[in-house]
Amino acid sequence: MTQKIMLKNQSNFELNVSDNAIQINRPEPIMDVDVLAYKKRMDPMDAVDALVEGDHVLIVDYFSSGLTVLNALKTYLKNKYSDQSFKGQREFRSKYRELSHRLVLLVSHNKLTVRKSPEIGWLKSLYPNMDEFLLPFPQVQGLNSSWQWHEKGIFIPVLGRKIRPFYGTYFPTRFEHLILFDNWLKRYEGEKKSAIDVGIGSGVLTMQMLKHGFKKVCGTDSNPNAIVGINEELKRTRLDSKVELMHGDLFADCSEETELIVFNPPWLPASHNLEGIDQAIYYDEDLFPRFFAESFKHLKSGGRIALLFSNLGEITGEGEDHPIKKELAEGGRFKEELFIYKTVKAASTKTQRNQKWRSQEKVELWILNKI
C-alpha cells in the first residue's frame, strides 16, 4: 500500500564557532515522497524489489524489520556484484548505498517512531526545530554509531586519553601513522612557535603537537562538522586558547607563515563526486598540486611539511601516481628530508570486506623541506 508523506521543509541548521555561523552537515531530511509501508510479517524481497524499482519503503513496526530488509538487499546485490577486487567491492558498496537509502524511518519529536529503536542524541541536537521528517535507514544507523562513539569516546594511544568525535567527522581507528608522527615529534628540533594543521579533522595531530610543546596551531577544515567538533573538544580539554580554527578549503583564511605544516590527506584517489566524510577518504586529482603550491607560500625559509600517507592507492591499483613522489620529482619546490614507513596490522576478522591487500599496506611519514 502506497501512502504520501508530506512534511514542511526546514532551513539548514547552523552553529556558532568563535562568533561565526557554520552550517552543519547532517543527513538530509526527506520531506515529500510516496512510500510503501513494510512490516515484519511481509516478505523482505518484496521490499527489495520496490527499492530496485526506485520506490521508497517505510519501516512502520520494529527497527529490526529494517535490518531484515537490508540483509536481504545485501544478499541480492552480492549475487549481482560478485567481483571481490578492490574495484568490485567499491561498485557493490556504491549500488548498496543507492538502494538502501530508499529505505526510510520516520522521526517524530527527535525520536524514531518504530519500536525497539535506539535512542540517538544527534536527532535532538542536529534537528532542534523539526517535528517530523523521514531519514534513510543507513543514515540512522550512521547517526546511532556516531552517537555511541561520541558518548563512549575513542581512546587515542598517542594522547593517552579519549576524544569524543562530533557527527560527520573522520576519526582514526588505526594508529600506526599517528605513532610515526609522535615518534618524529619527540625528536623534532625546530622552532615550536606555530604550526598549521591542514584538514584538522578530529584534532589528533594538533593535540599531538601541543603535547610536544608547540605554542600555537592554526587548524583548518573544509568540513564544518570537524570545526564544530574540535571546537567542543578543545574547550573540554582547555586547549582552545592555543588553537585558531578556520572553516574552508586547504589553508582557508590562514594568512600567517609558519615553520611546520602538517597534513594527513585522503589516501585514495576519487572515482566519484565527493561529499561529506568521503572527502576525508578520497582525494580529487587537483588536491595535492594545490596543497603544495599553497604550502610553499605559507612556509618560512627552512620550514617543513609533515605528510602522513599510505601506499594503499598503489597496492590496490587505484592510484597510478604517488602524489608526494610526483611533487618531489616534478614540483621544484621541496626536497625530501625524511621518509619512514610502518606496516599496518591485519584487518579485523569481524570486517565483511575482503582486505587481502592489508598485508602489503604501509603507512608513510614524509618530511619535506622548502627549497
Question: Are both 163 and 104 inside the same structural domain?
Answer: no
Q: Is the pLDDT of residue 181 over 50?
A: yes
Mean pLDDT of the chain: 87
* pLDDT for the residue numbered 45: 96
Last residue of a domain, one of 96, 121, 150: 150
Do 250 and 313 reside in the same domain of the chain? yes
Pair (7, 107) in one structural domain:
yes
In this structure, are 76 and 105 located in the same domain?
Answer: yes
Q: Are residues 205 and 90 in the same domain?
A: no
pLDDT at residue 256 tops 90:
no
Could you tell me if 312 and 189 lie in one domain? yes
Residue 279: its pLDDT value, please? 54
Residue type, 155: F
- Here the CATH number for the domain that contains residue 181 is 3.40.50.150
Q: Are strands 362-370 and 334-343 parallel, antiparallel or unpaired?
A: antiparallel
Residues 183 and 305 in one domain: yes
Number of domains observed in the structure of the chain: 2
Q: How confident is the model at residue 184 (pLDDT cuts 50, 70, 90)?
A: very high
The stretch 33-44 carries a mean pLDDT of 93
Residue-number span of the structural domain to which 114 is assigned: 2-150
CA 98 remoteness from chain centre = 19
242 vs 112: CA distance, rounded Å: 40
Domain boundary residue, one of 121, 150, 179: 150
109 in the same domain as 66: yes
CA dihedral sign, ordered 251, 362, 370, 259: positive
- Residues 206 and 347 placed together within one structural domain of the fold: yes
Annotate 194-226 with DSSP letters as a single string. -EEEES-TTSHHHHHHHHTT-S-EEEEES-HHH
Comparing 292 with 89, which gets the higher pLDDT?
292
Band of pLDDT at residue 272, cut at 50, 70 and 90: low
Is residue 107's pLDDT more than 50?
yes
Does the pLDDT value for residue 319 go beyond 90? no
H helices present in 193-342, as ranges? 204-211, 224-236, 287-298, 312-316, 323-330
Q: Note whether 328 and 187 are same-domain residues.
A: yes
- Closest of 245, 257, 251, 150 to residue 193, by C-alpha: 257
Top-confidence range, 30-39, 214-223, 347-356:
214-223
Please check whether residues 142 and 255 belong to one and the same domain: no
Q: Which three cell numbers stand for residue 313?
A: 592507492
For 335-359, the pLDDT digits (tens) are 999 999 998 876 544 444 445 555 6
| DSSP strand pairing (195-198 vs 258-263) | parallel
Residues 216 and 310 in one domain: yes
**In the 8-state DSSP scheme, what is residue 29?**
P
- The Cα–Cα gap between 151 and 344 comes to 28
Among 134, 150, 166, which residue terminates a domain?
Answer: 150
* Average pLDDT value for residue range 303-328: 83
- Position 207 scores a pLDDT of 97
- Looking at residue 264, its pLDDT comes to 95
Does 82 score more than 90 pLDDT?
A: no
Cα distance between residue 8 and residue 30, in whole Å: 10
